[in-house]
Amino acid sequence: MTIPAVFFLVFTIVYDPFGLVALLDMERGLFALNISILFAIILVLDSGLRTAFHFFKKAKNFTWAKYISWCIGEIILAAIFASLYISLISAGQYPYFDALFTICLPYISLILIFPYTILSLAFALAGANEAEDAKAAADESLIRFYDAYHKPKLVIAVKAILYIKADENYMSIWYSENGRPVKYSLRAPMNSIEESCTRHGLVRCQRSYFVNPEHVTILRKQQGWIFADLDMEGVPSIPVSKRYYDKLANLL
């Protein structure tokens, strides 16, 4: 169910803007019917146009100006179809162009400006986030981490990362800051970052670990186990499985 249609229905019933309740009643007890039909018109149009919008947004570069024009177009189309209905149901009381220019277009525009302002702000915010994502993606010296809901949580220089450890539904990202190790906990599965880590040069060294080979000083064996020692004091040795040993060793 779309935001503009729901807002139009609730706002009209609760606040009776511009005397719409009496106008839609038409002195024949038609308010419930008319508001339901107008709600359905806006709902169907907005649903269809929003579906088309998401399609064209992916196919083309939608700017802020284009999005505002799209929203204005949605409002105008809603007013056009609503006027057709009002002119028919009013039995000649409101000719089509009177219904369009004196009722539907101004009233629908003034009511729907509120939800469309919210949608426009959301579009602008999404565009800003996409631009930031693209900028970070273009800069291979930075790596971006997202939570389980794909919300950006941490952007950091790849060279600062020491290692990443998985812990059930969380992961611990250890990185250096001002010469000391810092831990950042992120709610996300390890497999969600595998492609990004590999692309940025981090290496899986064990099922639950990624390590930055730039910080590995030595690989050592201890009682049948293999460990990677890192170049920062206070950081524990990282376990290395035999499966990943050769790949990591070749990078040192």
Buried b (16+ CB within 10 A) or exposed e, 232-251: eeebeebbbeeebbeebeee
Tell me how crowded residue 14 is: count the other CB atoms within 10 A of its CB.
Answer: 8
Q: How far, in Å, CA of 116 to CA of 71, rounded?
A: 7
Domain ranges of the chain: 3-135, 142-250
What is the assigned CATH class of domain 142-250?
mainly beta
Q: How much of the chain, in percent, has pLDDT values that exceed 70? A: 92
Give per-residue pLDDT as tens, 190-229: 888 999 899 899 999 999 999 999 999 999 988 889 999 9
pLDDT at 1: 53
* pLDDT level of residue 241 (50, 70, 90 thresholds): very high
Give the residue-averaged pLDDT of 54-73: 78
pLDDT band at 134 (very low <50, low <70, confident <90, very high): low
The pLDDT of residue 136: 55
